[in-house]
């Protein structure tokens, strides 16, 4: 190549084009290895979930990352819109309630380290944060003779628990899991943290709470699963 050719416009144009292509390739490389994804984990026991930071340790115990938690709903993920959501609390109460997401998340909250144990044999450990069921029941005013509370879900699922169990164990309706907003596929806006009960008592996408004075069989309970559902106890009956 002679020096005359090197100063021709075609040659200079070619060199500039080559440089631009290299810069583009280098940029693509750095974007692909940087945090330009909605979820990642690092070595510090935290990870990003959307724009929130997921906690992977609580009270000295390792939590199961949400991405590794199992999920098996009868009709798949329900999509509940926060702005129009209302939680009904009714039945034998003095004053039925319709609570917005904002109201529910404004009550004093409680955090707990609890395992969910599905009756099928899998489990995971989470940090659950939410409002005690008793807070909402006190607001509504439970009447004399009430024994049972039914939880209704957006997918037609339902389950029930004894009023005494809910009060004595300070059972919560969780709206945060591992410190992030309960994800849509995990039951947004609320999942019942029915500690020491099989997973089928952990209603997700809860839209209604009804207080009654007789036993009630929910979705799986009316299909042969134990209505008591104590973890470790009989699965059927
Ligand atoms: N609304 C609703 N809630 C539900 C279910 C369901 O199908 N629909 N499945 C239950 C069962 S059988 C289990 S084991 C747990 C699983 O909860 P997870 O998604 O937090 O793992 O949700 C429970 N809550
Ligand atoms: Mo389950």
Q: Which of 9-13, 111-115, 118-122, 177-181 has the lowest mean pLDDT?
A: 9-13
Would you state the pLDDT for residue 39? 46
CA 189/CA 80 separation, integer angstroms: 7
CB of 126 within 6 A of ligand 1: the answer is no
Residues 186-203: what's their mean pLDDT? 98
Q: Model pTM greater than 0.85?
A: no
**Structural domain count of the chain:** 1
Name the average pLDDT for the chain.
89
Nearest ligand by distance to the CA of 190: 1
Domain that holds residue 121: 59-223
Three-state SS sequence of the chain: CCHHHHCCHHHHHHHHHHHHHHHHHHHHHHHHHCCCCCEEECCCCEEEECCEEEECEECCEECCCHHHCCCCCCCCCCCCCHHHCCEEEEECECCCEEECHHHHCCCCCEEEEEEEECCCCCEEEEEEEEEEHHHHHHHHCECCCCCEEEEEECCCCEEEEEHHHHHHCCCEEEEEECCEECCHHHCCCCEECCCCEEHHHCCCCEEEEEEECCCCCCCCHHHCECCCCECCCCCEC
Within-domain flag for 146 = yes
Mutate to test the pocket of ligand 1, among 67, 70, 73, 189 (most ligand atoms within 8 A of CB): 73
Q: Which atom of ligand 1 lies nearest, measured to the CA of 220? A: 12
CA 146/CA 214 separation, integer angstroms: 8
Instruction: Give the residue whose CA is nearest to atom 7 of ligand 1.
Output: 73
Within-domain flag for 49 = no
Residues 8-25: pLDDT tens digits? Answer: 666 555 665 667 657 655
CB of 200 within 6 A of ligand 1: the answer is yes
Instruction: Give the residue whose CA is nearest to atom 11 of ligand 1.
Output: 200
What is the Å distance from ligand 2's center to 172 Cα?
A: 19
Give the whole-number percent of the chain exceeding pLDDT 90: 77
Within-domain flag for 117 = yes
Residues 33-64: pLDDT tens digits? Answer: 444 444 444 445 567 777 899 999 999 999 99
Would you state the pLDDT for residue 40? 47
Nearest ligand by distance to the CA of 208: 1
CATH at residue 68:
3.90.420.10
Would you state the pLDDT for residue 55? 95
Within-domain flag for 155 = yes
């Amino acid at each position: 190549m002679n020096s005359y050719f090197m100063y021709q416009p075609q040659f200079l144009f070619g060199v500039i084009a080559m440089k631009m292509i290299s810069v583009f390739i280098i940029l693509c490389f750095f974007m692909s290895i940087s945090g330009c994804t909605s979820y990642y984990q690092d070595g510090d026991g935290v990870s990003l979930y959307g724009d929130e930071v997921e906690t992977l340790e609580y009270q000295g115990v390792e939590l199961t990352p949400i991405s590794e938690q199992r999920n098996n709903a009868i009709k798949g993920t329900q999509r509940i819109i926060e702005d129009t959501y209302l939680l009904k609390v009714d039945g034998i109460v003095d004053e039925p309630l319709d609570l917005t997401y904002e109201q529910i998340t404004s009550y004093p909250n409680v955090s707990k380290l609890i395992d969910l144990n599905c009756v099928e044999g899998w489990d995971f450990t989470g940090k659950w944060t939410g409002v005690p069921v008793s807070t909402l029941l006190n607001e509504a005013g439970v009447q004399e003779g009430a024994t049972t509370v039914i939880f209704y879900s957006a997918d037609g699922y339902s389950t029930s628990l004894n009023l005494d169990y809910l009060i004595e164990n300070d059972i919560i309706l969780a709206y945060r899991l591992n410190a992030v907003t309960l994800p849509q596929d995990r039951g947004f806006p609320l999942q019942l943290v029915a500690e020491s009960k099989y997973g089928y008592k952990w209603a997700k996408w809860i839209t209604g709470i009804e207080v009654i004075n007789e036993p009630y069989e929910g979705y799986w309970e009316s299909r042969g699963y134990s209505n008591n559902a104590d973890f470790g106890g009989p699965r059927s009956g």
